[in-house]
Amino acid sequence: MTLTSPLHSALSASAVHDNSEHGAGGRWSVHAPAPSRPDIVRDLIDRVVAADRRWEFASSNTAAGPAYSPYELLDAANTEALRRIAGQHGWPGFSLVGQDGSEAALRLALRVYEPHDDHEFVRALLRLLTTAAGCGEATWAQWAHLQDRVSVLNGYDQQYGTQYRHDASPLEPELYPVADPQTLAARRITVGLTPAPCPQALPGPRT
């Protein structure tokens, strides 16, 4: 499968990427008005905070089997919340939820739980995020993370080097295979990422 990058000229003037993976302090460097739905912002952030605690524990727990069911239940609940929000509002963009809410939505999108492995919802989220990025309601860096996630889930090489395996060694995550590594730096710069990939705090898919 061949994936095409968004044109550099399509990057919104309202989205200013700084020279780091997620911006200063782990946030996207975006100039945006106050969110119109602070209640959704709080819900998204609360879910990420609670999930981070479980994801951190899960990444250090190498046991298999039933021990993972609480994490799957949490991911499933967060997926349904994100499905409800996206169904009503589309991708949670800057106007709706601001910078913090948008980043929280991405973190949840990267851990969408679909037990039948059809990945239909995460692909739908990618379409919504593509539209949002084109309208300046999200960044192409966010899009790149979710695009890579979809590629990995479907067994393809990622394009932007944002997705890591965390299962084998939580302290030394392994980068999933990247298509055409020689041009990776150029592709990353195009979407506002640093030239070289690096392990990051965003949760990666369990395999």
Question: pLDDT tens digits for 102-155?
Answer: 999 999 999 998 877 789 999 999 999 999 999 999 999 999 999 999 999 999
What the block records as the tokens of 51 is: 């999930």
What does the chain come to in residues? 207
Question: pLDDT tens digits for 61-112?
Answer: 544 444 445 677 888 999 999 999 999 999 999 999 999 999 999 999 999 9
Question: At residue 181, what is the residue type?
Answer: P
**Which residues have C-beta within 8 Å of that of residue 181, sequence separation ≥ 6?**
none
What pLDDT does residue 72 have? 79
Taken in order 110, 175, 144, 189, is the CA torsion positive or negative? positive
What pLDDT does residue 200 have? 61
Query: Where is pLDDT greater, at 194 or 25?
Result: 194
Query: Where is pLDDT greater, at 44 or 64?
Result: 44
Residue 44 pLDDT more than 90?
yes
What pLDDT does residue 98 have? 96
